[in-house]
């Protein structure tokens, strides 16, 4: 039987989503819990990877295992001894054809930032930009609009893997205020390595006035690729939602 699970996590103490030999990952913690429940090794398959320090409210993974009790009992069993930074919020049986990664239609990320210092209770979850720098949010908002559409995003990739598909479709991108913070929300078919954080880094320089708004368009047209781009801190990034209904 195949199970689809939605999980939230604070990525601060983990080396990322994917299991790694030299560190504790979110995947490691979940697989250890499933092994304790089913008394065998269980491999889970996520919708995608998140880097060290990146958070999630709606990461999705699947695994295969027989379970003879009610679904709600499986949810309770998984959560019973997970680290406090991880919580599975939903479990449901799905057809064997479902795949957390390959069945996904789109993903939505939020990046949180603010123009003043962060309190100790905020610092893990927001990029607190230097308050001594004047930042024009309107310029950043105009730049975000240029992302919508189908583009080659290699200019915003942290690295490009061999044979990686570089063309991605962004269906929505906007920056809006939320309380005393701002949110960069982006939805699309897929993302390259560190793509969202590097876009956010470009927005920072645009907001400061160092770059013009059309730098985004130029980069999408594979111009100015030699100009280094700041990678925004991982702490502000959240995987909000993975959609499976196109």
- Of 185, 187, 199, the closest CA to residue 155 belongs to 199
Question: 159 and 71 in one domain?
Answer: no
Pairwise CA distance, residues 45 & 92, whole Å: 15
The CATH number covering residue 215 comes to 3.30.70.660
Question: 166 and 122 in one domain?
Answer: yes
- Whether 100 is covered by a domain: the verdict is no
Question: 85 and 120 in one domain?
Answer: no
Range of 50's domain? 2-94
- Whether 161 is covered by a domain: the verdict is yes
- Of 238, 198, 194, 225, the closest CA to residue 206 belongs to 198
Residues in the chain: 246
Question: 9 and 79 in one domain?
Answer: yes
Contact of 17 with 31, CB cutoff 8 Å:
no
Question: 172 and 57 in one domain?
Answer: no
Contact of 202 with 156, CB cutoff 8 Å:
yes
Question: 125 and 208 in one domain?
Answer: yes
Domain-ending residue, one of 37, 59, 94: 94
pLDDT of residue 159: 83
Question: 123 and 89 in one domain?
Answer: no
Domain-ending residue, one of 69, 94, 119: 94
Question: 120 and 239 in one domain?
Answer: yes
- Of 75, 81, 86, the closest CA to residue 24 belongs to 86
Question: 81 and 170 in one domain?
Answer: no
Question: 152 and 238 in one domain?
Answer: yes
Name the residues annotated as catalytic. Answer: 51
Pairwise CA distance, residues 127 & 115, whole Å: 9
- Whether 60 is covered by a domain: the verdict is yes
pLDDT of residue 36: 97
- Whether 141 is covered by a domain: the verdict is yes
Pairwise CA distance, residues 61 & 124, whole Å: 24
- Whether 102 is covered by a domain: the verdict is no
Question: 163 and 52 in one domain?
Answer: no
pLDDT of residue 245: 85
pLDDT of residue 38: 97
Question: 149 and 57 in one domain?
Answer: no
Instruction: Please tell me the total count of domains within the chain.
Output: 2
Domain-ending residue, one of 67, 94, 121: 94
Residue ranges, the chain, pLDDT below 50:
none
């Amino acid at each position: 039987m195949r199970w689809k699970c939605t999980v939230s996590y604070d990525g601060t103490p983990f080396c990322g989503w994917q299991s790694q030999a030299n560190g504790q990952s979110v995947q490691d913690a979940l697989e250890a819990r499933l092994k304790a429940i089913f008394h065998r090794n269980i491999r889970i398959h996520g919708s995608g990877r998140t880097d060290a320090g990146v958070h999630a409210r709606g990461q999705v993974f699947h695994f295969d295992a027989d379970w003879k009790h009610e679904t709600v009992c499986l949810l309770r069993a998984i959560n019973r001894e997970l680290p406090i930074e991880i919580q599975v919020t939903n479990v449901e049986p799905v057809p064997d054809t479902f795949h957390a990664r390959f069945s996904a239609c789109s993903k939505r990320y939020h990046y949180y930032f603010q123009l003043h210092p962060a309190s100790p209770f905020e610092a893990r979850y927001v990029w607190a930009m230097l308050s001594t720098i004047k930042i024009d949010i309107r310029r950043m908002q105009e730049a975000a609009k240029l992302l919508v559409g189908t583009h080659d995003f290699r200019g915003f990739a942290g690295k490009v893997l061999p044979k990686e598909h570089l063309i991605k479709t962004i269906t929505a991108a906007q920056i809006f205020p939320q309380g005393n913070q701002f949110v960069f929300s982006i939805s699309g078919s897929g993302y390259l390595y560190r793509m969202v954080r590097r876009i956010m880094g470009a927005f920072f320089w645009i907001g400061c006035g160092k770059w013009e708004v059309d730098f985004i368009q130029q980069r999408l047209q594979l111009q100015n690729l030699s100009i280094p781009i700041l990678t925004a801190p991982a702490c502000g990034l959240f995987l909000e939602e993975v959609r499976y209904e196109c």
